[in-house]
Chain A
Amino acid sequence: MTGCLPIALEKATRIVQTLLPAGKEYVALMHLHKKISEIEVKKAFEKFSGEITQLPPIRSAVKRQERKRKIYYIEILEIDNQDILFKIGCQAGTYVRKYVHDLAKYLGCGGHMQQLIRTKAGPFTDKEMFTLHDLKDAYELYKEGNEKEIKKIIKPFEIAVNHLGKIWITDSAVNPLCHGADLYVPGVSKITTGIQKDDVVAIFTLKNELICIGQALLDSDSLLKEEKGTAVKTTKVFMERGVYKVKE
């Protein structure tokens, strides 16, 4: 696999866990072991869309039993003889290599995946990526006193939760959360629409710093309507204690 690989640093490291359940997009190159007509290939892709069932490969991180995965979209980009280039948007945990294997088996000719490029991992896309060389060069420049390039490459870790619902809270509500407390409704200042109960949500200061991640106990409408009670159960804290402790 090549392509989009989000990496979080130091105190932000655990934020990558919020990307694991997010949808992914890949561009894959499949090679068929025999020539098959384009019509048949297209029909097979239609069959392998929507909900599919796959058995995780022998070497996998999950229990080896058949499971259902959602294929959100499929687009054949190019058919060149026995090579088929396609784009796939899929649920987290879809094995694309296995998908290719199963599809080729269904076609009756067999086949394998020749190349796999990730183009989306949650909010991270192939539109702005950097190589390890870019990073190394930028860090060398930074050590020489030029921080322009490194600032282009290392982004605030807040971008990693762009796919989640968000809640902004008042200054006085921040510090208890840094100690692991849950968020209560009176601390809420702003919210995004589209939050469902039990969603993973990101909680921010009014300066747009990410404080913590939690599980919403109310949906967006209730968050606006309610005047008391618990709004979010805190699960992962990122901001250090005391940053929002008002000096007296």
Chain B
Amino acid sequence: MEYKLPFEEINREILIKKEATTNPEIGKEPEERSVTELIQYGAININKPAGPTSHQVADYVKKILNVSKAGHGGTLVAV
């Protein structure tokens, strides 16, 4: 059976308040980002292995991708 968390129960339909167009010369659709840009504005859903802490896993990700910042968002606390 498929269960839902509270936010999954909220009906999110898109409604238009004011029709508008966007200038194609500025900004960029997220799907068009280069790998370099993706790394600057990216997120990864890691399958955490047993053993290392979440913080250590974030550190491994930093080393693998050679980036200076990576943060995990599972939980602040140890469950």
Contacts and interface: CB of A to CB of B under 8 A. Distances in A.
Nearest to A204: B30
28 contacts: A1-B74, A4-B45, A7-B45, A7-B57, A8-B42, A8-B70, A10-B41, A12-B43, A15-B73, A18-B73, A19-B73, A19-B74, A24-B5, A24-B75, A59-B78, A60-B77, A62-B77, A72-B3, A89-B3, A155-B45, A160-B73, A171-B23, A189-B17, A192-B15, A207-B22, A207-B27, A209-B28, A247-B25
Contact of A89 (B5, B22, B28): B5
A25 B47 CA distance: 14
Interface stretch (A30-38, A39-47, A102-110, A117-125): A117-125
B6 A72 contact: yes
Interface of A: prevailing SS: mixed
A9 B70 contact: yes
Contact of A129 (B1, B13, B18, B45): B45
Interface in A113-162: 116, 118, 120-122, 124-126, 128-132, 135-136, 139, 142, 147, 150-151, 153-160
Contacts of A59: 78
B: contact size bracket? 35 or more
Given A7-B70, A61-B77, A243 B27 contact: yes
A24 B73 CA distance: 11
Report the interface size class on chain A: 35 or more
Interface of B: 1, 3-8, 10-23, 25-31, 33, 35, 38-50, 54, 57-58, 60-61, 64-65, 67-79
Contacts, number: 267
Contacts of B38: 150-151, 154-156
A79 interface: no
A10 B40 contact: yes
Contacts of A16: 71-73
A171 B22 contact: yes
Given A6-B72, A130-B45, A224-B15, 18 more contacts: A3-B48, A5-B47, A6-B46, A13-B71, A19-B73, A92-B75, A95-B77, A118-B48, A122-B7, A126-B47, A130-B44, A154-B44, A156-B30, A156-B31, A156-B38, A171-B27, A194-B11, A206-B22
